[in-house]
Chain A
Amino acid sequence: MMSSIFVMAEHRNQALADISLQTLSKGRQLADQAQTELLAVVIGKDTTAYAEQVAKWADRVIAVKNDRLEEPLAEPYQKILALLIKERKPKIVLMGHTSLAMDLAPPLSVELEVPLATDCTDISLQNGDVIVTRSIHNGKLNAAYSFAPCETVIITGRVGEFPIEEGNRHGQIEEIDFPLEEEFNYKKFEGYVAQEVGGVDITQAEVLVSVGRGIKEKENIEMVQKLAEVLGGEVSCSRPVVDYGWLPSERQVGLSGKTVKPKLYLALAISGAFQHVVGMKSAKMTVAINKDAGAPIFKVANFGIVDDLFKIVPILTRKIAELKDD
């Protein structure tokens, strides 16, 4: 029998993170297939409520408590997880591919000298071996990876790839008061900084005309603004447009921006990297205009035009205006 599976459940703002319900669901499925135990690990100042929630998926819950664990910080998490993994020797340690995991998983794998695969879109067991799939080259290829023989592998799972399946277990909760002596003074947490709030809330717009890097320069935004106006919508964008300073971050859609659900999402020169798609895939209708026929956005769009936006957008704006008047 395979040794156990660990899932580290994350919480932010007094709630379990969605990604953790996804990794717990995947962990449950793998544990059932391998006929082994799923252990959920929650770490924090007060983990009682989280422990009860994750117990629905887990055979056992390890709830680690310490007053100094108010914020999820990589250094104490690494210390705690390293001890737990050395002690219980799970076959798989699974967590979400989050900002916390970016800080935490690589050093943990170095400390434990175990393999790490990050941002995985699938995990499977084949004849007892763990195989993961990753999406590479801007979503244009999938890569399957295996691991060298080892006691434990660490895997982080991509947000939104593992469907949440309601758990029906009542895992036994084991509470650990963790003595945390280190001070971690070399890296001092100073607090959270909320995004500045501007005048526009794109999450409320029924129509979003969204632009990507292919808009080329700030002056070209005006053309997109006109299309948004004739559709009664707002302009939104992908990350590079904010990085270049062409639009403010409050208009950014995606993992690090807003999650939107408009009636129409019109994606102009947006390639459709998963970080973007995560934020707009619940749109009722998606239309893509992109000169790259291989852009992943065409996989999630309902309708598409493979062409240069600078050719299409002015004509489209005029045609919509004409049809409105009919």
Chain B
Amino acid sequence: MDIIACIKRVPDTSEADAIKIDSSQRDIEKSGLAFKINDWDEYALEAAVQIKEKLGGTLTAVTVGSQEWNDILRRALAMGADTGIRIDHDVASEDPHIVALILKTVIQRLPYDLVLFGAQSEDFGSGQLGAMVAEMLGIPHATLAVSLEARENKVHISRELEAGTLESYTIELPALLTIHTGINQPRYISLGGIKRAMRKELQVMSPNDLGLSVDMLIPMVKLERLELPSKGKGAELITGAPEEAAEQMAKTLKEAGIF
């Protein structure tokens, strides 16, 4: 089975104290931020590698981004991808329609039975890309897959609905799925694995190479400005050394009648 996994690089903002807006008001200050593969995409890659291990075939990892994005392709190669393709295009705050069009154009040149995406990204979280690409390719899709069993010409999946309910489908291949976290346990990648992947060649192409001209890549949705969210009422912070803070917290809970 030939599988394509589309992946993205994101800033790790989960524990970043303060994200700063840059002078354009449309982007964040990148300096000082660590970057990583999007969480959901790592689950998608793992799902792809597991299918390849079971059924054989090829796995191609594709990304759309600048040169720094090569690091996530290396990671994909270290996990088990055969080929890494990067389309050199700055997508910092791009309309998903544009990225979808680029990805669709790459994918349709490759052999594929199954295309996998992460269900959403950690930074913008639109959750649009995979399902858009499926529509552009004219193949069936399902988003939010939390289980996946691949056979020769079809996949059996369940997808997550609200409040802990799942629904299951059998989908004929070729098809596109977006993968939710928790579907598997992504494998540990050693530094040695990444180093070995450094030796593999990545394919880099421009939108122009794909026959996409600038006027075909005009966004319909435009980011106007970034703002810090309102602080809200906010928590009353209990400060001090751990011993004092914990004691004060215990007293606060007692006064509130919790115990």
A contact residues vs B (CB 8 Å cutoff): 12, 17, 71, 75, 97-100, 102-103, 105-107, 109-111, 114-119, 131, 134-148, 150, 185-195, 207, 213, 230-232, 239-240, 242-245, 249, 252, 255-259, 263-264, 271, 285-288, 291-294, 296, 298-307, 311-312, 315-316, 319-320, 322-324
Contact = CB atoms under 8 A, between A and B. Distances in A.
B165 A193 contact: yes
Contacts of B159: 99, 103
5 contacts: A109-B128, A134-B126, A136-B226, A141-B21, A192-B168
Nearest to A243: B182
A142 B229 contact: yes
A193 B167 contact: yes
B71 to A, nearest CB: 20
Given A141-B21, A146-B222, A264-B258, A299 B171 contact: no
B87 interface: no
Given A231-B258, A264-B253, A299-B231, A102 B226 contact: no
A159 B159 CA distance: 19
Given A150-B220, A312-B246, A136 B229 contact: no
B210 to A, nearest CB: 18
Contacts of A143: 93, 124, 223, 225-227
Interface stretch (B53-61, B77-85, B106-114, B235-243): B235-243
A255 B28 contact: no
Nearest to B240: A305
A119 B126 contact: yes
Interface of B: 11, 13-19, 21, 28, 93, 95-97, 100, 119, 122-132, 134-136, 140-144, 156, 158-172, 175, 178, 181-182, 185, 218-229, 231-239, 242-243, 245-247, 249-254, 256, 258-259
Contacts of A300: 232
B242 A106 contact: no
A242 B182 contact: yes
Contacts, number: 281
Smallest CB-CB A-B distances: 5 pairs: A243-B182, A304-B235, A107-B135, A115-B220, A319-B250
A131 B232 CA distance: 22
Given A143-B124, A294-B18, 11 more contacts: A12-B162, A105-B128, A106-B131, A110-B97, A134-B125, A140-B228, A193-B166, A195-B165, A285-B258, A299-B232, A307-B245
A287 B228 CA distance: 23
B149 to A, nearest CB: 12
A186 to B, nearest CB: 4
B167 A146 contact: no
Given A116-B221, A195-B165, A106 B254 contact: no
A294 B231 CA distance: 10
Given A195-B164, A264-B253, A142 B128 contact: no
A244 B185 CA distance: 7
B160 A207 contact: no
Contacts of B247: 315, 319
B252 A303 contact: yes
A147 B220 contact: yes
Nearest to A302: B235
A256 B234 contact: no
A303 B252 CA distance: 9
Contacts of A97: 127
A191 B259 CA distance: 45
Contacts of B168: 189-193
A110 B140 contact: no
A240 B185 CA distance: 11
B162 A137 contact: no
A323 B251 contact: yes
Contact of A231 (B13, B165, B225, B259): B259
Nearest to A193: B166
A259 B178 CA distance: 25
Contact of B224 (A99, A145, A302): A145
Nearest to A256: B160
Nearest to A140: B19
Contact of B237 (A134, A136, A232, A305): A305
A322 B251 CA distance: 11
Contacts of B95: 115
Contacts of A288: 235
Given A119-B127, A264-B258, A293 B17 contact: yes
B163 A257 contact: yes
A107 B141 contact: yes
Contacts of B164: 194-195, 249, 252, 256-258
Contacts of B21: 141
